[in-house]
């Protein structure tokens, strides 16, 4: 008698909570009773999407491992789509199971991989399931886009200051907050007034809102955030980053962009919504943000020579400057990994990278730059090679930019061709919408690439890009050294000669972590220093 296993799956957490999977399990029991089959084991992926491969699901992985150990001969599934939601995933799962001698049978569909006809029918059904899924998604997408253009709110977190009315449209929320004589819209207006008209920084505005006891959206709506596998309450306070996001959000001046929050390539649909602040006030807020940023840099107590140039080898984020209390209470400046001050990057939690003393690392890098400028020797050839590479890269980027601009212009011509075909009644209105959406997506992708290229070109237009030869650059840098260069000039020199600085934190024998600092220059091979807390090279 065949040894039988049953695999069941439902995709959403909501289905898991409602125990929808029990329907499949109950059907499996009755099916096996009817056909007098003995069930060896049950494999239940409850609340697991079918868009991921079988081996990436908890019970799916156990199923494959047990199949390799020859624990069962026949696998029963309620429907083919329980194995996966695409033909590729379904057929890969069937292949992996059959390689281990397991046959697959659907309890509700007419196929069994135990014979050639069954395997052929399985392939056909997998293709049909894939086609149905893609067709449904496509129809939903086009329907959602039509509704979005009409101004409908199609789900997601409603911006603070708004609510969705019974017809499904955004409207300004003028309902008073509990315990306050203010509405959400009033809070939004207050934020803009503080920053745009009274010159508040985002930090000062956040402190003011917290002092007033104004609840954030998460607190007001009782929402929680996911931390690991659990959902927890937020701190419930206003943060400068949240204030800034609200200030740059075009929704508050009456323009919402649908599709901006998704990671998928799709058309951004701008639509009009009720404005809480005027275009003039919104624009003043943007100018105030820019002025505050410039003023913060101008009034900074310390200037960091290597700002934005030090990368963390542990989490990949950038180091930034900060200061701690040192001997006798005097502040001591360090470079600190950005992953240590916020939950960001690929790590779970905060980064554990070592802090680097500002004076030590800046002296290390600056001394190397000065030594090269005064005694270039053979390193001048290395700099010349680097300059040639940069110039060739810039030329290639300029050429690519021009080609993309031509392609963007051709997209407009394609649109006109589509409209001509529609006027001649060769294609339908649905065909027009599909083709227009495709062209819009392609154009948006090209325009994004142009922006990226322009950013790369601008980064190449440093001190290096102003000179034809390495000798000219070296002569100019040496002249600047002779005049006791101020911070701005030293910063320019460093940017011209330093590619990047990588800090890797590694364990040591005595338990104290080591910092391996690698400086990459334009004029030499990488220079690496391994240091402990004393910031002296390790013997």
Residue 116 CB contacts under 8 Å (≥ 6 apart), including other chains: none
428 annotated active-site: no
Residue 248 CB contacts under 8 Å (≥ 6 apart), including other chains: 286, 289
Both tokens assigned to 188: 């939004």
Alpha helices in 271-332 (DSSP H): 279-298
Q: Where are the domains of the chain?
A: 3-146, 162-298, 319-531
Taking 70 as the pLDDT cut, the residues of the chain under it are 1, 13-19, 112-119, 121-122, 125-149, 151, 155, 218-235, 259-268, 293-301, 341-349, 377-394, 456, 458-474, 482-483, 523-539
Helix pair angle (429-460, 116-149), 10° resolution: 80
Scored b (16 or more CB within 10 A) or e, 263-291 reads eeebbebebebebbbeeebbebbeebbee
Torsion of CA 130, 133, 138, 143, to 10 degrees: 170
User: Which CA distances in Å does 315 have to 6, 84, 520?
Assistant: 42, 34, 19
Both tokens assigned to 293: 């940023």
Share of the chain residues as helix, strand and coil, in percent rounded to the nearest 5: 50, 15, 30
Both tokens assigned to 309: 């140039």
- Each residue's pLDDT tens digit, 479-526: 777 667 888 888 888 887 888 899 998 887 777 788 888 888 876 655
Place of tokens 């800046």: 362
Both tokens assigned to 527: 């220079």
β-pair partners for 332: 324
Q: Are 483 and 492 in contact (CB under 8 A)?
A: no
Q: Are 194 and 200 in contact (CB under 8 A)?
A: yes
User: Which CA distances in Å does 118 have to 115, 122, 132?
Assistant: 5, 6, 21
β-pair partners for 225: 232
The CATH architecture one would assign to domain 162-298 is Alpha-Beta Complex (3.90)
pLDDT of residue 531: 53
pTM score, whole prediction: 0.42
β-pair partners for 128: none
End-to-end CA distance of the chain: 71
Both tokens assigned to 283: 């624009």
Scored b (16 or more CB within 10 A) or e, 323-336 reads eeeeeeeeeebbbb
Cβ count within 10 A of residue 504 = 17
Residue 156 CB contacts under 8 Å (≥ 6 apart), including other chains: 261
Q: What are phi and psi of 490, to 5 degrees?
A: -60, -40
- Each residue's pLDDT tens digit, 133-153: 666 656 655 656 666 667 677
User: Which CA distances in Å does 506 have to 100, 108, 338, 347, 355?
Assistant: 43, 57, 18, 16, 13
Place of tokens 């943007």: 286
User: Which CA distances in Å does 170 have to 45, 150, 164, 275?
Assistant: 38, 12, 5, 10
Q: Which of 317, 318, 321 is nearest to 296 (CA)?
A: 321
The CATH code of the domain at 3-146 is 3.40.50.1390
| DSSP for residue 164 | E
Using CA of residue 39, residue 41, residue 44, residue 49, what is the dihedral sign?
negative
Q: What are phi and psi of 331, to 5 degrees?
A: -70, 140
- DSSP for 21-66 reads HHHHHHHHHHHHHHHT-EEEEEEEEET--TTS-GGGSHHHHHHHHH
| DSSP for residue 512 | P
Helix pair angle (202-212, 184-192), 10° resolution: 150
* Count of helix runs (H) and strand runs (E) in the chain: 15, 17
Give the Cα-Cα-Cα angle 398, 403, 407 (nearest 5 degrees).
Answer: 145
Using CA of residue 363, residue 368, residue 373, residue 374, what is the dihedral sign?
positive
- Residue 3's Cβ-side half-sphere holds a number of Cα atoms within 13 Å equal to 11
């Amino acid at each position: 008698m065949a040894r039988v296993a049953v695999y069941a799956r439902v995709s959403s957490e909501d289905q898991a909570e409602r125990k929808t999977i029990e329907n499949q399990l109950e059907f499996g029991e009755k099916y096996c009773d009817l056909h007098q089959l003995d069930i060896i084991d049950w494999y239940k992926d409850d609340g697991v999407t079918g868009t991921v491969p079988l081996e990436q699901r908890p019970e799916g992985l156990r199923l494959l491992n047990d199949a390799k150990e020859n624990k069962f001969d026949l696998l029963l599934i309620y429907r083919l789509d329980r194995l996966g939601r695409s033909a590729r995933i379904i057929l890969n799962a069937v292949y992996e199971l059959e390689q281990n001698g397991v046959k697959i049978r659907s309890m509700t569909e007419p196929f069994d991989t135990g014979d050639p006809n069954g395997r052929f029918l399985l392939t056909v059904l997998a293709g049909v399931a894939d086609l149905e899924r893609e067709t449904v998604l496509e129809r939903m997408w086009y329907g959602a886009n039509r509704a979005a253009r009409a101004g409908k709110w199609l789900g997601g977190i409603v911006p603070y200051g708004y609510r969705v009315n019974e017809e499904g449209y955004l409207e300004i929320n003028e309902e008073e907050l509990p315990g306050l004589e203010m509405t959400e819209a009033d809070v939004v207006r207050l934020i803009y007034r503080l920053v745009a008209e009274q010159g508040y920084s985002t930090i000062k505005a956040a402190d003011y809102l917290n002092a007033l006891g104004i609840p954030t959206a998460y607190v007001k709506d009782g929402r929680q955030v996911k931390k690991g596998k659990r959902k927890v309450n937020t701190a419930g306070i206003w943060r400068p980053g949240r204030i800034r996001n609200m200030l740059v959000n075009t929704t508050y001046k009456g323009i919402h962009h649908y599709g901006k929050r998704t990671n998928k390539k799709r058309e951004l649909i701008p639509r009009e919504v009720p404005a809480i602040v005027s275009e003039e006030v919104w624009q003043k807020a943007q100018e105030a943000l820019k002025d505050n940023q410039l003023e913060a840099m101008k009034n900074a107590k310390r200037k960091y020579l290597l700002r934005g140039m030090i990368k963390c080898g542990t989490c990949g984020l950038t180091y930034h400057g900060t200061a701690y209390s040192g001997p006798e209470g005097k502040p001591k400046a360090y470079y600190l990994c950005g992953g240590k001050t916020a939950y960001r990057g690929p790590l779970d939690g905060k980064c554990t990278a070592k802090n680097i003393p500002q004076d030590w690392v800046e002296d290390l890098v600056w001394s190397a730059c000065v030594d090269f400028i005064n005694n270039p020797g053979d390193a001048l050839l290395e700099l010349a090679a680097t300059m040639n590479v940069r110039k060739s890269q810039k030329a290639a980027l300029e050429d690519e930019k021009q080609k993309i601009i031509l392609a963007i212009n051709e997209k407009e011509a394609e649109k006109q061709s589509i409209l001509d075909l529609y006027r001649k009644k060769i294609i339908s209105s649905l065909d027009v919408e599909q083709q227009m959406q495709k062209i819009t997506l392609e154009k948006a992708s090209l325009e994004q690439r142009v922006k990226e290229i322009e950013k790369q070109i601008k980064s190449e237009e440093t001190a290096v890009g102003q000179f034809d030869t390495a000798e000219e650059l070296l002569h100019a840098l040496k002249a600047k050294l002779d005049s006791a260069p101020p911070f701005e000039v030293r910063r320019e020199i460093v940017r011209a000669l330093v590619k990047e600085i990588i800090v890797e934190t590694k364990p040591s024998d005595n338990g104290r972590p080591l910092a391996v600092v690698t400086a990459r220059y334009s004029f030499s091979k990488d220079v690496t220093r391994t240091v402990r807390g004393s910031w002296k090279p390790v013997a």
